[in-house]
Structure 1
Amino acid sequence: MEALLMVLIEALLSGVLEYIDSILLNLVPMAFYAERFLDQMLGRDAISELFNILFSFGVSLIILKFIKKGFNTYILWIDGDADTDPILYLTYFVKALVVAISFPTLYGWMATIVQGLTDKLLNIISRGVIADFSIIIASVVSGGLVPGIIGVIFFGCLLYLYIKFLQTGLEILVLRLGIPMACVGLVDSDQGVFKTYMQKFFQSMITVMLQIVLLKLSLALVINGHLIWATATIFMALRTPKFLQEFIILPGGQGGMMGKAYQATRLVQMVRGAVK
């Protein structure tokens, strides 16, 4: 029975080996610039066309929101404070337009900074480490049933984490597409949905950076023969989004509905944890 299981484990790991090299290529660009890979697979600049359409739509919404808010405030007197300086509303309007127009450039700078930091971290972790996965899999299989099972779990998590990278890349792409519409919230004094939107945006980018670093760390541990530590590290990489959510504080203050809902949820989680 054990010999049969070892044959099955070896077959599974050998199948995974075919995808390992392609999985580790272009992780950062794939997450931050998913449209390049999608356009290449589709054979045309479909995502670029979507950017242009949604940008025009978002700018139109910003203009309409500004006109509607100004009309309701200073002519109908049914929205906001009519004594507020009109220059203030004009400032909000200009700010929304500037952010919507300049965001592609700002995002390019931000992605370059995050990618540079990620590359430096990876260079430190991968220094002197040569990944030969055929040798790694052979050593896992030769170690017996328990290392073989742990190896299957590790490489299965590796494949799953790669799918999560693709999902996060698409998530960042969708957030980028929606930025012009999120900028409509900047016309309001409380910034509307924009603040929460950007919070989610930064969380996704930090998630990508941490997951890639943890993935490379787990591979370095495997290469050095520490399979259990490597498995624990890749589990941590999978848990990164939930881990980062622990530090998110929703805007709205203590009296806001969203703030109260968040506090109630955290209180319930703490009570459940204490009971367990």
Structure 2
Amino acid sequence: MTHRKIESWLTDMDGVLVREGLAIPGAPEFVKALRDAERPFLILTNNSIFTPRDLRARLSRSGIEVPEESIWTSALATAQFLSDQIPGGSAYAIGEAGLTTALYEVGYTLTDSDPDYVVLGETRTYSFEAVTKAVRLIQGGARFIATNPDTTGPSTEGPLPATGAVAAMIQAATGRSPYYVGKPNPMMFRSALNRIDAHSETTAMIGDRMDTDVVAGIEAGLETFLVMTGSTAAADVETFPFRPSHVVDSVADLVDLI
């Protein structure tokens, strides 16, 4: 199936391993195979609400057992990026524990007084007051960073406005566009590769979205696998100007490659 030797794996979470809180058939076996073979791997998610500990517990409830250090979120990638740019800097953060904890852990100070950055992440309850504060800080010179460009997120009642939608509102008010760290920015994949000391030529990315997982994997130089268990249908693949290395039904088809 593959023309490269795959030594390390990156995989999206929602739509690849879990869907609506339930494990996708074959996902627990796939992750167990990775762990048994001691293959370096990371589970990637653009969701910046939750900490790796939260996500580990969520996956465990679905029957997928992973250590916290095998989870890489857009919040962690954003915090790492900011720490590389301005070590020990300051930020005004709009987000939840996943983002604020990640910023604290890289030594950032959270403040609403002359911060180096305004950092926008996912939250269940966006405050207009917080958005207004962000607008004024950016107009005052703070750099504008967002964890991910997703404009909507899922909920049991239907789509919810997400980071990208709120970022667009702030951009319209300030005339300043944010730098997005999460997928499809290959920056998130490169930081993930560095975290597990992996090389792009021997790493594969598994995703369910052409416009984030696959395109970022291609741009980062990875072998890419598109699964049909998430948001992309087989007919959709032909509408994009790029192609994944492989299209498979689910991660269950990839266990034998480990």
TM-score normalised by the chain length of structure 2: 0.22
User: Which of the two has greater helix per residue?
Assistant: 1
User: Which of the two has greater strand per residue?
Assistant: 2
TM-score normalised by the chain length of structure 1: 0.21
Higher relative contact order (CA 8 A, sep 6+): 1
Higher Cα Rg, which structure: 1
